[in-house]
Amino acid sequence: MAKDKLTHRERIERCISGEKTDVVPIALWRHFPVDDQTPDGLATATAAFQKAYDFDFIKVTPASSFCIKDWEVKDAWKGNPEGTRDYQQFVIHEAEDWLRLPPLNPQKGYLGEQLECLRLLIKEFSPDTPVIQTIFSPLAQAKNLIGKDSLLAHIRQYPNAVHAALKRITAVTIDFIAQAKQIGIDGIFYAIQHAQYNLLSDAEFAAFSKPYDLQILETARSLWLNVLHLHGENIMFEKVCDYPVTVINWHDRQTAPDLTAARSLFRGVLCGGLRQWETMVLGTPSDVLAEAKDAIKHTENKKFILGTGCVLPITAPRGNIIAALRATGREIF
């Protein structure tokens, strides 16, 4: 007799194939400030969060600086309710600085520490619960090397220098993913922050983002649970529908396309349905339940994972998280 309750892995696998699942898949993820400064600290905090809520995959969320601190960027925890750190020291000041980024060994320094965090989590949760690692696009990493207010100016003034740096960042990122694959990750959560029309034109995105994105995603293609995250508003959703990913996550309640329209554009799995702030932080459990049920209805509970458009703020009430779980059909006591 087939067992009634699926493992998290089985549930996500069925979701991807378009099959019926026992309950609606759900995944929420958050930052863990202070804890995210050591591999065992981040692993322990992430594991505790997973054990408390039993989500269908674990998205490992280090500070965004993890991939560039070996280039001597400095950041600090200043209390942002999203759990993110503020950058205090950038390393790119003039065009020539882009050319000075040295190669990095992904098994050393902060990159090596993140691999250790993955080892700890995979040892504890694999294979029944998928573990995916956050990877920031080369352009997103470049932004944090120079500061968001200066990146676009350098793209337009010093394109060759920026391209040289993007090639270096891409090579390091590919090497890191190769090491993470050996450890046993199930996929990557690939975060793109510049697929926004209020930041780049179509031509700029095609030149400075897409070629590097595709190189990285090709490295991850053999993994079975790759999630693409499109950050921000006025996003270039149609420009990335051909990316080799299994899941797309974006702020579907804040920017087009909505879930219904996205189903006609992307054949894979959609992840979203819940607003980070208005609903998960400032709403009531009834608000969460209503919004979740609406998302499930509009996706016909097919190829859909309930989630937020981005990280769950660290101030989200426990009751609202429980309400999201209840909306998926789980029995929560």
Fold of 21-327: TIM Barrel (3.20.20)
Q: At what angle do helices 138-146 and 210-220 cross, to 10 degrees?
A: 120
Only one residue has tokens 């998302």, namely 295
Side-chain half-sphere CA neighbours of 66 within 13 A: 31
Q: What's the pLDDT score for residue 5?
A: 87
Residues of the chain with pLDDT under 50: 1-2
Sign of dihedral through CA atoms 148, 152, 154, 155?
positive
Residue-level pLDDT at 2: 42
* pLDDT for the residue 4: 67
Number of Cβ within 10 Å of residue 181's Cβ equals 17
Predicted confidence at residue 210, as pLDDT, reads 98
Going from N- to C-terminal start, the domains of the chain cover 21-327
3-state helix, strand, coil in the chain (%, to 5): 45, 15, 40
Q: Around Cβ 176, how many Cβ atoms within 10 Å?
A: 25
Amino acid symbol at 47: A
H helix intervals, 184-226:
202-208, 210-220
The whole-number pLDDT of residue 1 equals 32
Q: Which residue has the tokens 């208005």?
A: 278
Using alpha carbons, select from 253, 117, 266, 130 the residue that is nearest to residue 185. 130
Torsion of the alpha carbons at 311, 313, 296 and 52, rounded to the nearest 10: 100
Q: How long, in residues, is the chain?
A: 333
Residue range 24-36, pLDDT digits in tens: 999 999 999 999 9
pLDDT score at 244 = 98
